[in-house]
A and B are shown apart, each in its own frame.
Chain A
């Protein structure tokens, strides 16, 4: 299972990268894309939208099902990746380079409350049983 050590994770299967400037890049995990299957539709949040932690803010849809994406922490949407909206299949090809949106967190310390790779791996393995 592909779970990069340098990223943070949510229980709802988003990954979060903390950039050097303190902004966050958000995507869905390799496990999430594997569960959903072939992606055919992505809807990102509007740039400038203020998100509460855990708020539904985006949608990914595979042929099989629709799945909500939740804000990992509170923040303001800085950019949204138009490439994944135009070609949702990139989420299947490489979930960690196919980022969805970036956030400026309200409180930079909030990311410390997210899971690390080991904790996320344990969660995924527990869900499998």
Chain B
């Protein structure tokens, strides 16, 4: 039996094609995935991301606990509502999950984790917290709606009365509690917008309100093409427990400078880094897909995520390839019986509706 979010009936009413996504019955699209993609880039769209899990960590010295738990440094979080993207590593330096940590108060940090890894994450957190006086609460009572696109914020302001005052000057990667809502200026699309965490019973009323304001729903299909254009990693595809953040394009999220120790730090310092995550732009016709083999002058690599970019009208990918191959170089990718040419590029590919390609 698949798990359902509180918006399941709404998705079906809106004609969604539903798929099994890591044990959740989720909307893939509501018609055309490409239309939904462009809608978000050009105007606004909304996603049900209630399958993601909110975890509240409360008690004495939560900050001290998190300093040791995650690879990024929670000491960067100094003002309430501030969010931090980080990886949580195993002792071998592999990625257990990527997550966002919000600083609510010194005795309360809120963590948002991936759906498929949530139970494993919480078990790991509890194990790590064993000696501490901490409460780790899985907030299955909360839902999450992501409203994304250049017009996303104004639609949320229209849907939630008086929320504009509370969030108008809020910068990206910050959040605020407003009435029963937790409104974060975050997303997974490369566009402006909010992710709204709210009680499950409030999810459908907000969804319907946004819909009547002209916000169209978008499914997981568009979510994937949007995040890949935005150059954002997908857990389980671009990194997992066997890969370190240092070979996954996530070195910027790992703090090795501070004195503090964290799980996986020693392993990261010991590991030789021989690979890198790069962007690929396919120059030939075709579509890059995960697991295709990449040939470079320093040896083989592998596509970790690939798709057709609706914005660029060309296939793009993230690929893990040997170090030393630089942006601008051409590599080949084996696609079925054909050898196609791709260019190594810096990513993101697209941000705020525009191509970021410079070469």
Contact = CB atoms under 8 A, between A and B. Distances in A.
Partners in one complex: yes
Interface of A: 37-38, 40-41, 43, 59, 61, 63-64, 66, 92
B72 interface: no
Sort chain B's interface into a size bin. 10 to 19
A37 to B, nearest CB: 5
Contact of A40 (B29, B221, B308): B308
Contacts of A41: 285-287, 308
A40 B310 CA distance: 9
A66 B308 CA distance: 11
B308 A63 contact: yes
Q: Return the 5 tightest CB-CB contacts between A and B, nearest first.
A: A40-B308, A38-B34, A61-B287, A38-B33, A41-B287
B33 A64 contact: yes
Contacts of A63: 33-34, 221, 225, 307-308, 310
Nearest to B222: A63
Given A59-B336, A63-B308, A64-B221, A38 B32 contact: yes
B51 interface: no
B11 interface: no
Nearest to B310: A63
Interface in B276-299: 285-287, 289
Given A43-B286, A64-B28, 15 more contacts: A37-B17, A37-B28, A37-B29, A37-B221, A38-B32, A38-B34, A40-B287, A40-B308, A41-B286, A41-B308, A61-B308, A63-B221, A64-B33, A64-B221, A66-B336
Q: Which residue among A38, A41, A92 has the maximum number of chain B CB atoms within 10 Å of its CB?
A: A38
Contacts of A61: 286-287, 308
Contacts of B32: 37-38, 92
Contacts of B336: 59, 66
A66 B287 contact: yes
A36 B286 CA distance: 16
A110 B287 CA distance: 34
A37 B33 contact: yes
Interface string B324-336: 0000000000001
Interface string B29-63: 10011100000000000000000000000000000
A43 to B, nearest CB: 8
A66 B289 CA distance: 9
The listed residue with most B CB atoms (<10 A of its CB), out of A37, A41, A63, A92, is A63
A15 to B, nearest CB: 22
Contacts of B286: 41, 43, 61
A40 to B, nearest CB: 4
Nearest to A59: B336
A44 B161 CA distance: 54
Contacts of A64: 28, 33, 221
30 contacts: A37-B17, A37-B28, A37-B29, A37-B33, A37-B221, A38-B33, A38-B34, A40-B287, A40-B308, A41-B285, A41-B286, A41-B287, A41-B308, A43-B285, A59-B336, A61-B286, A61-B287, A63-B34, A63-B221, A63-B225, A63-B307, A63-B308, A63-B310, A64-B28, A64-B33, A64-B221, A66-B287, A66-B289, A66-B336, A92-B32
Contacts of B310: 63
A33 B307 CA distance: 18
Contacts of B225: 63
Please indicate which of the listed interface residues B32, B285, B308 has the most CB atoms of chain A within 10 Å of its own CB: B308
Contacts of A38: 32-34
Contacts of B17: 37
